[in-house]
Amino acid sequence: MTMISNVGAMSSPVVADDEWLLARVRDLAIVDFAVLQHGLDSASARDILASYADDALQALLAAQARTVALRATIAKLDVGAALLGNARARKSGDGRIAGARIAETLRERASLARAAARFDEVCAGLWPRLLDAERQVG
């Protein structure tokens, strides 16, 4: 995996493989079954559609795993709950430093959430196609 960014020590890096996987899911979602099966006998057409369904399922499983990893990282990021309840600490010099760290953490969480949302968006286009292919294969 090629790391693109890693804002905080606890974060799961956004990786170049994410772009590849997003493109793979997006590409599978636009496959035209009629074109894929053009000129094939019924057994071959069914086999190619079954292969497509297997590829689509693997891509969806990989995307789901990445989304789960992103969300797990988001859940682990502390946004300074202890500082929120302590006005004295917020007013001190340590509070200002902590505030900068909290802002950075919130930006990182937002970035990771956007990455997870991108996976949800592209997977939304592939799920109906997978189910249709599996239905046609039987």
The amino acid that residue 121 corresponds to is E
Q: Does residue 138 or residue 90 have the better pLDDT? A: 138
Higher local confidence (pLDDT), 26 or 99: 26
Q: Quote the pLDDT of residue 82.
A: 57
pLDDT, mean over the chain = 85
The pair phi, psi for residue 77, each rounded to 5°, is -75, 120
Looking at residue 105, its pLDDT comes to 86
**76-135 pLDDT, tens per residue?**
887 766 566 666 666 766 667 777 888 888 899 999 999 999 999 999 999 999 999 999
